[in-house]
A and B are shown apart, each in its own frame.
Chain A
Amino acid sequence: MILVFVDHDRGVLDATSVQALTAARALDSDVEVLLVGSAGRDAVAELATYGADTIHLAVHDTLTDYAPLASAKAALELVSSRSPRGIFTTGTPRGNEVLAHIAAILDAPMAAEVLSVTFGDAGVHEVVRNRWGGNLTETARVHNDLLLAAFAPHAIRAENATGAGNVTEFTPNLDAADTAVRVIDRTGGAATGVGLAEARVIVSGGRGVGGPEGFDVIEELADLLSGAVGCSRVVTSNGWRPHSEQVGQTGTKVAPDLYIACGISGATQHIAGCRTSKTIIAINTDKDAPIMGYAHYAVIGDAQTILPELVAATRAAKE
């Protein structure tokens, strides 16, 4: 059996975290899911549409919001009672940290950024994982009976399947230290506009946009395409845009249907964040820029002159 930790935020299923469930189901007919916190009940129906048959719901008075260590402790109780051969997560911030807590407590190895898994005999398994944000892959042996694997986000597309969605509640044995680190507040309020990670279209700007004012037209185009604004690292380092908009290895990794890179040369650190986009369009003055090796389509020219025309033409096409 493979145990999958699936994440939810106050009852809203994390669509990325479900990718690990698809990965597990491809390897084993016996997969069980862990949801932590009573609000997880609200995520059960949707989770079942990804083929979840058996869902363990950890409920405890102190589990009022996400708490990483408590989530790991809940998983460890299932390790004892259900004896899985692997625990899978998707490598979201929560998926990585819950798995790392499990690994630390068990003093067991853990593989992050995993692309594929081959279970072996005698406590040695093989994984292929991303390095350098996917610019390299590593084949590695994991020396432990229980395989702890966090899958690289978007390495696997979540697949729908009909699951029974049977829920078993249990109360993990937790003490105060297990929930000492937990979400105590949220700032920034609800998202306005489309978030970068879930946007279907991202219009992204780099140095070639010229300055912070160059993003006005990028915002306009993003609005017209119901998309989000992204940018490169140099843009945030220059203080032109907030870091929350940075696409790249150290920013947000995205996989939209359309990624438009305006005035972005395509450093490896940036490509690592957008390489899995379905379609990439580059607008760049340099026909030999690295981005041309990743883009599907390109326009050679100055983004600052092309974008206003593109906004006008896009607006006209919508009317």
Chain B
Amino acid sequence: MANEKRLDRIGWYFITPACVLLLFFIVYPIFFSLYLSFTSTKGIVSQFVGVKNYLRMFGDPMFFLALENTFRLLLIQVPIMLLLSITFAAILNNKSIRFRGFFRTALFLPSVTSLIAYSILFKMLFSYDGLVNNTLIKLSIIDAPLQWMSEPRLATFVLVIAMIWRWTGYNMIFYLSAMQNISEDLYEAASIDGSSKVHSFFTITIPLLKPIILFTTVMSTIGTLQLFDEPMNLSQGGTTASMIGPDNCFLTLSVYIYNICFKYTPNFGYAATVSYAILIIIALLTFIQFRLSGDREEAMRKTLERKGGVR
């Protein structure tokens, strides 16, 4: 029908501005980057080298160090943070708790800070003469100041704590919103059947929250794998120092790419190669996460589209 054709065309009109912007500012860079990854481009001196960069990457100790650091952060920070987020959400979902609005706002507030600002803050708090050391000494928890920013394990700890501080409230809001959509009747029915609050949480809340848990896990994974601003700003001396963080503990994959471009002899080709490695890892992990939750991308959206919560 002519009308259908007309509507179809209009559908495209709505999408066109976004497509144009996407084309220039995302699609073109992606493909050019792919091309770059097969070249050795030192500054403006470029040479096609085929898969040599990829082979180089597999023999690059620093790449593996960055990979290890990034994964360590992923496996430690993300689960703890999401667990905390869901716990807070569960608590604040309970109508009998008072001052819920205040707590919700307080926990969300860290998310409005810029990544630079809060990195600087935590660096100051945990410096050798900083507030944390002084407080711990005053409370007699430790006798001598701890070298938070000079010891690799402690420095990683500071980064993890900072990220948890910043992102827990943000994810909590997603869980809270989803929880508030679950009908009260479900809980009432369950408690009539004799189920305890905790039991209901695990048998009703969590399963219904699966799509949103998947969403936050995927977004957090992508965010942590691309982590740049915080390690960059927590490390002393940035790119002019010999190491990014004590024993290079803040050398994440994105920081490594930045170093390849701006600290070492700039090999933009190799930098592109490493960034494609990140992309492949992200894609793999995202795919696995979707599979584990038994959904594929479209199915996830369909789940979110389904009304109500009874299944």
Are A and B associated in one complex? no
